[in-house]
Structure 1
Amino acid sequence: MSYFNEIYNDPELSARAKQVLVYLHDRANKDGESWYAIGTMAKDLSLSRSTIKRALELIRQGRVEKRARYRGNGGCTSNLCILLEVK
């Protein structure tokens, strides 16, 4: 089954989670890494920031790993999201 068929046919994923997962997949580099800020994702997907945060249920489900990223001065920047293979 293709990656997208797994996403579309997974009854445990909400519609917003599917949308965010496809977005992250589309924006990821060859290593499955994406670093788009919640605000950017919300704007690009025409969703609220709260909706994007709820869609990050993908982390609990083991589909995405989130790592904090920091600027040189120690300030927070966008998180790094890594797409994980579904087991």
Structure 2
Amino acid sequence: MAYFTSVYTSELSHRARAVYMYLHDRADKDGKCYPAIGTIARELKLSRSTVKRAITDLEQSGRLRKEQRWRENGGKSSNLYYIKQPDS
């Protein structure tokens, strides 16, 4: 738990904390992951809108960076998220 001390003591909303921890749990060793917003919402039992707001909160706080991913046919795919590891 000490690992997340900076997240727990931050001014982040509860939704942002939950989404951050979800993404952190699914990130690889480089801090990258790409779950769909619908998957995050379903597994955390939050609405899609709440997840989107949480992602915006995390981006504004500098704890998360997202990139849009594209399919070969030009369609959108899930976002790629880069997690900034919290200071312990």
Question: TM > 0.5 between the two?
Answer: yes
Structure 2 contact 31–85 (Cα < 8 Å) conserved: no
Whole-angstrom CA distance in 2 between matches of 1:45 and 1:62? 22
Sequence identity percentage? 52
The unaligned stretches of length 5 or more in structure 1 are none
Secondary structure of the residue aligned to 1:29 is coil
Partner residue in 2 for 1:72: 72
TM-score by length of 2: 0.90
The structure whose residues are more often helix, as a share, is 2
Aligned-residue Cα RMSD (Å) equals 1.6
Count of residue correspondences = 86
Secondary structure of the residue aligned to 2:28 is coil
Partner residue in 1 for 2:22: 23
Partner residue in 2 for 1:61: 61
Partner residue in 2 for 1:6: 6
Structure 1 runs (4+) deviating above 4 angstroms are: none
The unaligned stretches of length 5 or more in structure 2 are none
